[in-house]
Structure 1
């Protein structure tokens, strides 16, 4: 009721005063050339005040609906969907109220009614001309409705657009505002998101996987490095969500091998900090414990030396690969991840 009073008091008061003046003027004995002009003006103002009151009541209903869906909780996917749809409906209702008020005001003029009758007789031609002239605007409007009710994009979604990482700050019927991570704003037409591929990192969940890649010498102790990765992530519990900890050699050509650490975090900002931390700690560990594993160029002259092969690391005992050495296996989460990327024949 407090919201109703705050939003509806002024438009209701204005409409009541204008209707009172209009009725009073029409039922008095005052005559003169000014009477018709004043009465006509009061009619137009009453229509505007009625549209104002209608829009205020619709906004009140939408605010009540928004208050039922909180976005400041961890699992806010449904709430963000409803906020996106309700805010677009808010803009539609306000625009419809304004357009309806303008049309009703115009039809209070006799000339406008005559023009309206002529337009209705040639509605097909007029509709074709208007659609052709405003095809870009109408395309963005329909794209905005498609985004709102197709759930491909929501408020607060984290997206990558034109190689820019940001958050969806505002969605209107004609444009979308992306808040870039460095506080810039990118404004794109809504039709962009229905015609151009983009990355949505939070469409179903916020948690992500990230990689840290290092090009190292062939002498790098992969098993020990894998154990060190586990130690680093265990010490980084506020950042690491405990889902994925994998270290693999993904490439081994020419003078270097590529070692990739795969880690997981609850959201994109946390993942960025975790990746930077893992990269820093691994580089420091290599520099202090295994400096010969750092990237270098070697030239061999003559026969190779007779060095004994390194002893097997204890982490390899017991048979089978290390669980931190498999992305799509090793533990139940890895096996489940692998099953999601197999065909129906492989699942059987």
Structure 2
């Protein structure tokens, strides 16, 4: 096998000048590697399409690009073994290329596995707490593992440079003050990384959780190692440092369940009859499809000289549904009051003071 390759190389070297002959051999090896790669992945894609699981197709799609480059590198390595001049050039760049390829393939496999596991965690179902927790852990662990792979890959690539390797060994030998300086400089990054790991373990928030933070209502859209993206109700994005969810108080409306209670307050005249209003509220909420059937209460929670507060308490399966339910009940009750009990609306009473006795006598005397 080796002798025919050497004969082909020798024949090609006689046709072209020295630099161009190396380039021609490299291009030929690259084209051959690409043809083999395309043929193999075409067969694998057809096999994956025949299976019911989407994870096979996902894995093949993620590995297509890194393996294509890896096959090209393998072809160049085999070519370099037969051409001494080409091997000299390859050895100078192999220290960078090989760690980068290994790291790229490792990241592709990691992302493919994580995406496959995410497909099994469907967050579109009604009771999606377990799926959201699983997706959050996968997202955080994926980011941390990706960071570690990139860090190791860059370190291996830099160690292939003799000058940097010697500097690194010197720093390790005298790592006293230098270690303290590097530790102080890297403190924010390390703090954020540790916070990301703690976030994955303690789970104060999960993907798609409804939170109130910085006075804003929104959903957790993305969790990274250093920050969290909160999608506000009006489609704005609030970028919050990861440490804030661990060091500051915030509201999580879906920590255990998405079910919530909400209320509508009606300000009525103290002379209003509550019974008919309560009956109408119960009738209206029973007909509303957004009500989950758990809670319906009508109570007078406050009274003053000019008004009373009638609180209509209701429940729904999640916060967006609860908001719409409250709006429906508020509109329906206001229309019913306007049509059936218009005098029930609160009003401000102004009573003129009683005339003093001296003023009355003066009026009587003036009339006489």
In the superposition, the TM-score normalised over structure 2's length comes to: 0.75
Task: Give a deviation string over 1:148-196, Cα, whole Å, max 9, x none.
Answer: 2212100011111122111111111111111111111111111111122
3-state SS in 2 of match to 1:30:
helix
For the residues of structure 2 that align with 1:6 and 1:282, how far apart are their CA atoms? Answer: 56
Rg: which structure is higher? 2
Q: CA deviation at 1:83?
A: 0.6
Residue 133 of structure 2 corresponds to: 81
Residue 320 of structure 2 corresponds to: 269
Task: Give yes or no for contact 1:26–1:39 (8 Å, CA) kept in 2.
Answer: no
Equivalent residues in 2 for 1:2-17, closer than 5 Å: 2-17=57-72
Which of the residues 67, 82, 85 maps onto 1:30?
A: 85
Residue 318 of structure 1 corresponds to: none
Equivalent residues in 2 for 1:33-72, closer than 5 Å: 36=88, 38-72=90-124
Residue 61 to residue 127, structure 1, CA distance change in 2 (3 Å): farther
Task: Give yes or no for contact 1:159–1:167 (8 Å, CA) kept in 2.
Answer: yes
Residue 258 of structure 1 corresponds to: 309
For the residues of structure 2 that align with 1:150 and 1:252, how far apart are their CA atoms? Answer: 45
Aligned length: 299
Residue 248 of structure 1 corresponds to: 299
More helix by percentage:
2
For the residues of structure 2 that align with 1:11 and 1:235, how far apart are their CA atoms? Answer: 58
For the residues of structure 2 that align with 1:296 and 1:29, how far apart are their CA atoms? Answer: 99
2:73 counterpart of 1:18: yes
Q: CA deviation at 1:250?
A: 1.0
Q: Aligned-residue CA RMSD in angstroms?
A: 2.2
2:278 counterpart of 1:223: no
Which of the residues 246, 249, 266 maps onto 1:194?
A: 246
Alignment gaps of 5+ in structure 1: 304-348
Deviates further, 150-159 or 139-148: 139-148
Alignment gaps of 5+ in structure 2: 1-55, 355-368
Residue 285 to residue 60, structure 1, CA distance change in 2 (3 Å): same
Residue 174 to residue 286, structure 1, CA distance change in 2 (3 Å): same
Task: Give yes or no for contact 1:246–1:261 (8 Å, CA) kept in 2.
Answer: yes
Task: Give yes or no for contact 1:141–1:190 (8 Å, CA) kept in 2.
Answer: no
